[in-house]
């Protein structure tokens, strides 16, 4: 199979680029994939395709730009030029832009593939029905939320024109089937990027690092976490360090600099900036606890799967998709009320003062993460493409047969 993937890809800073990197690592080693074609966004640096493992040929074709109205044309042109056997779209609703028209035009690409009879799968990481538009930074205006809801439903119907739409949570399958009557939705779990050897769960010497990881400023806010850790310091006397790993959300430039200035009087708060792929294991391995200071969720959490793979205890808000992941995939953590700093402080304190409890949660999370390695996820996509191709092979002779019969009657 000559497989094309439409996605952002490192060193891109557009969302889902890290997910694409780890999916590509697995696809290129799959026996049924003869060539991978990455149809990516344009970046200044070279794409990160230097892998240590052997694998198939990887071709990069930079053919789209965030917020460009021409993406539907340029990506279609790239598909025509490279002639893939199948196309996978690694998507969420703001993948191609945060401007409505640019985003919508990009999301029409699966329909283009369907019309061109190219087997295609959309990996849809979130659905708007499960996004709190106010907390997620889209809009707090009630009228605009209704407009976004209408636009989202229209775009969802477009995306559902794909041969198969893969989602990462069973609840998403249920919503798409119930609301849209979809018959082509499939559950394929998010998967875990890397599965290191099981850790010994002991922590390095020095301050206990309370870490959060991501893009901050919209529904991921770190002020409450900084204040909560300060409360735990005062109540326990423990040596704690806050580690904020990541960057601003593109919609809120300057957010972390403002936070740094606001809390400069609090000791031991470290901002790492963008974390390169090779540094991710270090950030997680040195952490005592991983915190999710979210006020909303927008899909299955890649950071939770990463935390599990490194055997980390986590502190999570009791809401939305994070709570569902605990139920569906077996992750565990201490929960807190999203709007309560006191609740967050208590959840952190429980883990940093009870070593046995912290280790038990860490072990359960490692067990949950290892249940769905990315190699398994890549296999599920390959099998899905095979099913689509076989379905088309069966239907095509029937169409030709009906056409010939019709012509004879005429």
Pair of tokens at residue 193: 């990027």
Higher pLDDT, 322 or 356: 356
Model confidence over 178-208: pLDDT tens digits?
999 999 999 998 888 888 888 889 998 999 9
Residue 393 domain-assigned?
A: no
Residue 389 domain-assigned?
A: no
Residue 186's φ and ψ, nearest 5 degrees, are -135, 140
Domain final residue pick, 146, 165, 191? 191
Let me know the angle formed at the C-alpha of 139 by 136 and 145, rounded to the nearest 5 degrees.
105
Model confidence over 128-157: pLDDT tens digits?
776 655 555 555 666 766 776 677 788 899
Q: Does residue 323 surpass a pLDDT of 90?
A: no
Name the residue with tokens 């390959």.
382
CA atoms within a 13 Å half-sphere pointing along the CA-CB vector of 288:
25
If asked whether residues 238 and 366 sit together in one domain, one would say yes
- Residue 405, pLDDT score: 40
Residue 391 domain-assigned?
A: no
Q: Does residue 407 surpass a pLDDT of 80?
A: no
If asked whether residues 107 and 224 sit together in one domain, one would say no
- Residue 396, pLDDT score: 62
Q: Which residues pair with 61 in a beta bridge?
A: 39
pTM for the model stands at 0.76
If asked whether residues 349 and 221 sit together in one domain, one would say yes
Beta strands in 65-206 (DSSP E): 86-91, 120-124, 164-167, 185-187
Q: In 3-state terms, what secondary structure has residue 337?
A: coil
If asked whether residues 263 and 182 sit together in one domain, one would say no
Residue 82 domain-assigned?
A: yes
Residue 11 domain-assigned?
A: yes
Q: Is the dihedral of CA 94, 95, 98, 101 positive or negative?
A: negative
- Residue 331, pLDDT score: 87
If asked whether residues 44 and 76 sit together in one domain, one would say yes
- Residue 341, pLDDT score: 96
If asked whether residues 187 and 235 sit together in one domain, one would say no
Higher pLDDT, 301 or 349: 349
Q: Which residues pair with 159 in a beta bridge?
A: none
- Return the CATH number at 352: 3.40.50.2000
Higher pLDDT, 5 or 48: 5
CB 88 within 8 A of CB 3: yes
How high does pLDDT run on average in the chain? 88
The end-to-end CA distance of the chain, in Å, is: 40
CA atoms within a 13 Å half-sphere pointing along the CA-CB vector of 248:
11
If asked whether residues 26 and 66 sit together in one domain, one would say yes
Secondary element (H or E) of residue 311 = none
Q: Does residue 359 surpass a pLDDT of 80?
A: yes
Determine which of 123-127, 233-237, 405-409 has the lowest per-residue pLDDT on average.
Answer: 405-409
Model confidence over 260-305: pLDDT tens digits?
999 999 999 999 998 888 899 999 999 999 999 988 765 557 788 8
If asked whether residues 148 and 262 sit together in one domain, one would say no
Model confidence over 54-111: pLDDT tens digits?
889 999 999 999 999 999 999 999 999 999 999 999 998 878 887 878 888 999 999 9
Residue 399 domain-assigned?
A: no
Secondary element (H or E) of residue 315 = strand 313-317
Q: Does residue 410 surpass a pLDDT of 50?
A: no
Mean pLDDT, to the nearest integer, of 308-329? Answer: 82
- Residue 141, pLDDT score: 65
Model confidence over 376-396: pLDDT tens digits?
999 999 999 999 999 888 766
If asked whether residues 21 and 141 sit together in one domain, one would say yes
Residue 158 domain-assigned?
A: yes
- Residue 175, pLDDT score: 92
- Residue 296, pLDDT score: 74
Model confidence over 27-39: pLDDT tens digits?
999 999 999 999 9
If asked whether residues 178 and 223 sit together in one domain, one would say no
If asked whether residues 324 and 238 sit together in one domain, one would say yes
Mean pLDDT, to the nearest integer, of 153-182? Answer: 92
**CB-count burial class (<10 Å; 0-12, 13-18, 19+) for 244:** buried
Report the number of distinct structural domains present in the chain.
2
Model confidence over 38-55: pLDDT tens digits?
999 999 888 988 887 888
Residues 6+ apart with CB under 8 A from 78: 39, 61, 63
Determine which of 227-236, 281-290, 322-331 has the lowest per-residue pLDDT on average.
Answer: 322-331
- Residue 406, pLDDT score: 39
Domain that holds residue 241: 208-370
If asked whether residues 36 and 179 sit together in one domain, one would say yes
Q: Is the dihedral of CA 136, 74, 89, 121 positive or negative?
A: positive
Residue 380 domain-assigned?
A: no
């Amino acid at each position: 199979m000559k497989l094309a993937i439409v996605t952002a890809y490192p060193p891109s800073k557009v969302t889902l680029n890290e997910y694409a990197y780890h999916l590509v690592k697995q696809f290129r080693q799959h026996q049924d994939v003869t060539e991978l074609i990455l149809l990516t966004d344009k970046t200044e640096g070279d794409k990160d395709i230097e892998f240590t493992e052997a694998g198939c040929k990887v071709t990069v074709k930079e053919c789209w730009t965030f917020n460009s109205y021409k993406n539907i044309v340029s990506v279609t042109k790239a598909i025509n030029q490279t002639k893939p056997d199948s196309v996978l779209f690694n998507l969420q609703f703001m993948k191609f832009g945060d401007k409505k028209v640019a985003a919508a035009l990009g999301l029409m690409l699966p329909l283009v593939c369907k019309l061109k009879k190219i087997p295609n799968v959309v990996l849809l990481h979130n659905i708007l029905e499960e996004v709190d538009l106010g907390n997620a930074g889209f809009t707090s205006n009630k009228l605009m939320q209704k407009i976004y809801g209408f636009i989202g439903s229209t775009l969802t119907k477009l995306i559902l024109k794909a041969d198969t739409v893969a989602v990462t949570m069973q609840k998403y399958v249920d919503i798409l089937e119930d609301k849209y009557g979809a018959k082509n939705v499939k559950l394929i779990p998010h998967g875990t990027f890397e599965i290191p050897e099981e850790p010994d769960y002991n922590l390095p010497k020095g301050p206990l690092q309370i870490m959060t990881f991501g893009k901050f400023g919209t529904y991921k806010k770190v002020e409450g976490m900084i204040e909560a850790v300060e409360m735990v310091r005062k109540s326990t006397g423990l040596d704690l360090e806050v580690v904020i790993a990541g960057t601003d959300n593109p919609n809120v430039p300057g957010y972390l600099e403002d936070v740094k200035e606001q809390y400069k009087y609090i000791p031991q708060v470290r901002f790492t900036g963008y974390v390169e792929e090779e540094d991710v294991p270090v950030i997680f391995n040195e952490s005592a606890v991983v915190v999710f200071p979210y006020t909303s969720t927008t899909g299955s959490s890649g950071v939770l799967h990463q935390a599990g793979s490194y055997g980390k205890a986590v502190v999570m808000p009791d809401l939305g998709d994070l709570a569902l992941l605990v139920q569906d995939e077996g992750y565990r953590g201490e929960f807190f009320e999203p709007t309560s700093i006191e609740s967050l402080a208590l959840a952190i304190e429980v883990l940093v003062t009870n070593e046995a409890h912290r280790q038990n949660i860490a072990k359960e999370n490692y067990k949950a993460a290892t249940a769905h390695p990315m190699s398994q996820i890549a296999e599920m996509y390959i099998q899905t493409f095979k099913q689509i191709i076989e379905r088309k092979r069966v239907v095509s002779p029937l169409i030709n047969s009906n056409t010939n019969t019709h012509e004879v009657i005429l």
